[in-house]
Amino acid sequence: MSEKLVIGNWKMNGRTGRNADLIAALKALPAVCRDGVGVAPPAAYLGQLGAALAGTPLALCAQDVSRFAGDGAYTGEVSAAMLADLGVRYVLVGHSERRQYFGEDNTVLADKLEACRQSGLTPVLCVGETLAEREAGAALTVIRSQLSVLEAYAGRALVVAYEPVWAIGTGKVAETGQIEEIHQEIKKWLLQCGRGADNIRVLYGGSVKADNAEAIFSVPGVDGALVGGASLDAETFKSICNAA
């Protein structure tokens, strides 16, 4: 896959004024970079960003989606249909923070993937092992079991993000050899389960910064990045996008 995709995950950060400044800076990215750039603000600001990004190639992304597809009595939830209505294109599904703090497992995530499919949204399925799992030699087993949720996913649109949990927000980046190995394994798994791995981007996430982005993007099999903390600083995020 030639064009890299870079998605900035703001997590639970943002205020209307700060968001406007960040978006203004991103709109100034050279046109060639903007085609593969997305921004995932908190749900509270999807309306603000949707309006600001309208007519630009920057993709609006959501950090999560309800497992319930239809409207109804699900207080606090935001449905895939609502996200689509706001102009969202990509949705993070199964981010490690959702798995850790909200107990999201494959049963919940299967519903979320299906909700995305029904509303024409592209899910970004996040997978990755903890440090304990890596040290126990179980990284691949864990990742394959997280990927197995895709066996029931009938949609074609899909992005996978490999995010080793021990590299998220820690400043520790996986070594290029480790990234290459896991990306190749993910692509092999996708092929084995009948998905054309050439059409599915596999992003790397975990402490991607301006000074390591170029090295990460040059790893074979890396089709882009999911960027957390570094996406909150316009200049840093722009440097990462420029390296893609």
159 phi and psi, to 5 degrees? -130, 145
- Helix %, strand %, coil % of the chain (to 5): 45, 15, 40
Catalytic residue among 95, 97, 183, 185: 95
Q: Any known ligand binding at 8? A: no
Instruction: Give the residues lining the site for ligand PEP (CB under 6 A).
Output: 9, 11, 163, 168-169, 205-208, 226-230
Our CB check for ligand PEP shows the closer of 69 and 96 to be 96
183 is catalytic: no
Comparing CB distances to ligand PEP, the nearer of 69 and 182 is: 182
d(CA 31, CA 13): 26
Q: Is 229 annotated as a binding residue?
A: yes
* Shortest reach from residue 173's CB to ligand PEP, in Å: 9
Based on the residue annotation, tell me whether 95 is a catalytic residue of this protein: yes
Write down the least CB distance from residue 162 to ligand PEP, Å. Answer: 10
Rounded Cα distance between 102 and 175, Å, is 29
159 and 5 in contact (C-beta within 8 Å)?
yes
Write phi, then psi, for 114 (nearest 5 degrees): -65, -40
List of residues 6+ apart from 1 with CB closer than 8 A: 198, 199, 200, 201, 223
Q: Would you say 166 is a known binding-site residue? A: no
CB of 11 to ligand PEP, least distance (A): 6
Which residues define the annotated binding site for substrate?
9-11, 169, 207, 228-229
Which residues define the annotated binding site?
9-11, 169, 207, 228-229
Residues belonging to the active site: 95, 163
